[in-house]
Amino acid sequence: MGLRLILDFHAEEFKTHISFSQERYGSGVNALVSEKVLAWLLEPEDPSLKYRTLVELMGKSPNDSEAIECKKLIPESAPVKDMLSLMHPDGYWLQKNPRTGRMLGAGAEYGAFGTTHYCLSYLAELGMDRINAQVAKAAERYLGLQKSDGDFRNHYSCLLGLNIRTFIMLGYRKDLRVQKSIDMLLNTDRPDGGFLCDMHEGKYKTRAVKSCFRGSVKALLAFSYLPEYWNHDRIRNLVDYFLRREGIFRSTDLKEFVNKDVERNSFPIVWRANVFEILLALSKMGYGKDRRLRRAWNFLDAKADNNGRYILDWTPEQCPWKVGERNQPNKWITFYALLAHKFKEAKHDVVTLRS
């Protein structure tokens, strides 16, 4: 499908093959979703996805009896058991660098999608939290690697954003170490409103270095979990960074994608930038219906099949969590796309919207 066709894809076409399921499933489902797709997401063989669909997409309370029973099944599910079986007894995950032969993961240095901070993020995604002793051991050990300013490694903004989101999901929001990382990002200012890391700062002698789009996406997604900062000047500037480029395009040429990442849906959420991450974060913060995001929404919805299931384009082969086949409809991509739509349609009182 060519770029012009994708960007001209109109949302009304998407609505023709999906419908609201509010009557059957409750008012928590504000996204466009067919009953067939919702039933697919609720299939019992994946308790993590089922639990998150019940609570986040359908709006059921975590104390709902069905949600409680589903949550109990998560620690014994195959992805969680497999992940925890790979953990070193001291609380970290190792992976060999194929180029150097070095084993990485015991420290903050990381490998290709299978070392400690990645595995903690996968466990958080699967619905695990610090109540589990193994998860708590690994989380505490990793937080112990934090530097005095709140950083973990070379001020990588993608790593910081991913870690903040991970630890919030694991139940560490009130931990002072997590707050230290949050404060560091809030106090990191850049002219264009995005984020960067040490390895790129100052590399040009005659011009300023642009922010890292990938790192900025991870920071945006992290702060979408922190509504107390949505009206903070630093986060307003970060939002503007994305709205100026209509979400996924080059700020200097709105006819071109900002990078190859956004052309393909990828999962799990790692350092790559996904259109569903951007739209979900901006929608949670109250900007989902901003007219500048129309083409990004159309592009996202063009990735759905005729049944309203969204396609997984890429997943890392080295990842210990196998989330599905490439180029096939995927439950996790569908869940996140529909969650983004749900927040797009929600009413927002916290943030003051910009036109």
157-181 pLDDT, tens digit per residue, is 999 999 999 999 999 999 999 999 9
Longest dimension (CA), the chain: 62
pLDDT given at position 203: 63
Give the integer Cα–Cα distance in Å for 56 and 335. Answer: 9
pLDDT given at position 18: 39
pLDDT given at position 209: 87
Q: Any idea what the Cα angle at residue 105 is, between residues 161 and 316, rounded to 5°?
A: 65
pLDDT given at position 187: 96
Contact (Cβ atoms closer than 8 angstroms) between residue 29 and residue 20: yes
pLDDT given at position 7: 45
Kindly tell me the sign of the dihedral angle through the C-alpha atoms of 313, 15, 3, 346: negative
Instruction: Using DSSP, state whether 17 is helix, strand or coil.
Output: coil
Residue 192 CA to chain centroid, in angstroms?
22
pLDDT given at position 180: 98
Give the integer Cα–Cα distance in Å for 354 and 292. Answer: 11
pTM > 0.75: yes or no: yes
Give the integer Cα–Cα distance in Å for 181 and 71. Answer: 29
Backbone angles phi, psi at 199, to 5 degrees: -65, -20
> How many residues does the structure list for the chain?
355
Which regions of the chain are under pLDDT 70? 1-32, 200, 202-207, 348-355
pLDDT given at position 281: 98
pLDDT given at position 202: 63
For residues 262-295, one letter each, b for 16 or more C-beta atoms within 10 angstroms of the residue's C-beta and e for the rest, the string is bbbbbbbbbbbbbbbbbbbbbbbbbbbebebbeb
Give the integer Cα–Cα distance in Å for 115 and 106. Answer: 8
pLDDT given at position 29: 46
Give the integer Cα–Cα distance in Å for 258 and 252. Answer: 10
**The residue to which tokens 């707050």 are assigned:** 179
pLDDT given at position 205: 59
pLDDT given at position 24: 35
AA letter at 236: R
Tokens of 131: 């109540």
pLDDT given at position 348: 62
Q: 83 exposed, middle or buried (CB, 10 Å; 0-12, 13-18, 19+)?
A: buried
